[in-house]
């Protein structure tokens, strides 16, 4: 079942801006933001703006993965690395999402670095 948003979904609340997030990309169908518990600097989640339980339920999955590729290329540029990991998930938050993150390193992940990482990714997307 596809819904525009659900009231109890944290990702839907990010889409509607009820919950703040470090958004690095947004278009009419998708939004990408930094994970609040990052595996590495630049750990980004890409989600559809319409609530779908699983990635495989997203009707325009081809466009979805074009956005995922765009974000992956920006992460490569922003963090000067070729190694970007991806994970298709949906267990913890029941809203389709793809994780992208550079190889974990010793980068700091404090609040200032978090904001700086978002800016690096946005700049790499422009």
Note the pLDDT tens digit of each residue in 53-92: 999 999 999 999 999 999 999 999 999 999 999 999 777 8
- Both tokens of 115, joined, read 């904001």
Q: Tell which wins on pLDDT, 101 or 112.
A: 101
Residue 5 lies in a domain: no
Catalytic residue among 43, 50, 52, 97: 97
CATH number at residue 90: 3.30.428.10
Residue 33 lies in a domain: yes
Residue 25 lies in a domain: yes
User: Is 52 designated active site?
Assistant: no
Residue 105 lies in a domain: yes
Query: How many domains does the structure of the chain reveal?
Result: 1
- Both tokens of 36, joined, read 């609040």
Residue 107: pLDDT band with limits 50, 70, 90: low
- CA 24, 64, 125: angle at the middle one, nearest 5? 30
Residue 1 lies in a domain: no
Res 104: pLDDT = 74
Structural domain boundaries, residue 64? 10-125
Q: What is the pTM of this model?
A: 0.87
For the chain, give the mean pLDDT.
90
Q: Tell which wins on pLDDT, 39 or 47.
A: 47
Residue 75 lies in a domain: yes
């Amino acid at each position: 079942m596809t819904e525009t948003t659900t009231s109890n979904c944290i990702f839907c609340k990010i889409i509607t801006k009820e919950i703040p997030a470090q958004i690095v990309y947004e278009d009419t169908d998708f939004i990408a933001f930094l994970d609040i518990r990052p595996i590495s600097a630049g750990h980004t989640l890409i989600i559809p703006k319409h609530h779908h339980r699983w990635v495989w339920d997203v009707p325009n999955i081809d466009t979805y993965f074009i956005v995922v590729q765009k974000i992956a290329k920006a992460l490569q540029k922003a963090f000067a690395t070729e190694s970007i990991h991806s994970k298709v998930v949906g267990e913890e938050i029941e809203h389709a999402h793809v994780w992208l993150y550079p190889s974990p390193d010793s980068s700091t992940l404090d609040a200032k670095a978090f904001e700086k990482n978002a800016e690096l990714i946005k700049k790499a997307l422009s």
